[in-house]
Amino acid sequence: MNCGLLFLLGISFAAPLVAVEVAVAGKPERFLETAQQNWQTLADGAVKPRCIRCSKGRTCYVGLETLIPGQDQISIDNAKFKLQRYLDDDQVQWNKKSEAFEFSFNHGTSAVPLKDAIMVIKGPIGYVILDGHHEVFVSLYVGAKTIPVHVVDDLSHLDLHDFWSYLLESKKVYFKRTLDEILFNPPRFTAMIDRPNRYLATLIAYKVQYARAKGGIKIDRARGVARSVWVKLNKSIPFIEFEIADALDDAGLKYNPKWGTEIPDAVIEKIRLSLIKAAKSGKYPHLAQIPILTLEESKKRNLEDRGFLKNLITDYGNFGIHNCNEKLL
């Protein structure tokens, strides 16, 4: 990490953060605004921070101001769901006397335990997030100062042009902008927008974690909602939820926060038909590379049938990212 550059950017731990609300319910734009204001406060500080160097392969706590988003969209409804889980699990507590959140990790500065570290790549001027944007937004919203990261690679030796070029070409980040546009206007949390259908894409997924063992396919975990629309195999295709969100947008479907995690059956079937149509259209090529379930296939007896799931893995398991689980046991 280039500490001198961080100082020039005016990043600090010292500035007071925006007061936050204990209520999880509320307008998504308020959640987004509060998180972004807290980020700006950190970025606008004038005191040089203590520099934390986290090298490749290490897991450690870093300041939130050292992070750079790897995408330009986020689901605030998803972030609010995670905040409720943090409150339920006592990772975050509301102090009525001080009217502020308190945190259980890293000496009271983090809402996230070390075991739940987010995935990052170390770059020339910070850590670019590969996975964990919602955890970061929750942390910003509640006023935390640090978060645990696991550094999967260290590319801090590259210049900015080669660094962002590599991330874009390898599809490790998701931006609807060109390389030149990113170099001219680097990614910032204050520029991220809410994407409700990103959360909807997650809610309608049946998630299967598996590994290829010597004796065949070993399913470690399978879970999801009744009448799931599609199956996410391990980490699946990078950013496939955004492509699903695009298809839902085009179909005129939009997530309603009143649904919570319980999507009405009629809406689920509209989504199913829309995604099947989108997959056949050719406009969304990756949709043809994931299992989109028919109504019959989505019935509980099938999703609980390991043989059915293994057939899906055989048909679709060569697409996407499986490097964490695709190993011989």
Q: How, if at all, do strands 59-63 and 127-131 pair?
A: unpaired
pLDDT for 52 equals 58
What pLDDT is recorded for position 114?
Answer: 96
Burial class (CB in 10 A: 0-12, 13-18, 19+), 13: middle
Residue among 107, 100, 154 at smallest CA distance from 128: 154
**Helix (H) / strand (E) containing 149:** strand 146-154
Domain-wise residue ranges, the chain: 3-194, 197-316
Strand partners, 75: none
For residues 176 and 163, what is the distance between their CA atoms, to the nearest angstrom?
Answer: 17
Cα separation, 100 vs 190, in Å, equals 22
Domain 3-194 CATH (choose: 3.40.50.300, 3.30.160.20, 3.40.50.460, 3.90.1530.10) = 3.90.1530.10
Is residue 237 within 8 A of residue 286, CB to CB? The reply is yes
Predicted local distance difference test score (pLDDT) of residue 236: 81
Distances (CA, A) of 239 to 220, 244, 255: 23, 9, 18
Is the CB of residue 152 less than 8 Å from the CB of residue 120?
yes
pLDDT for 296 equals 92
Q: Which residues of the chain have pLDDT under 50?
A: 1-16, 19-23, 46-49, 320-329
pLDDT for 327 = 31
By CB neighbour count within 10 A (0-12 exposed, 13-18 middle, 19+ buried), where does 221 fall?
exposed
User: pLDDT at position 300, please?
Assistant: 84
| pLDDT given for residue 181 in this prediction | 97
Question: What distance in Å separates the CA atoms of residue 4 and residue 2, rounded to the nearest whole number?
Answer: 6
Q: Provide the pLDDT for residue 170.
A: 92
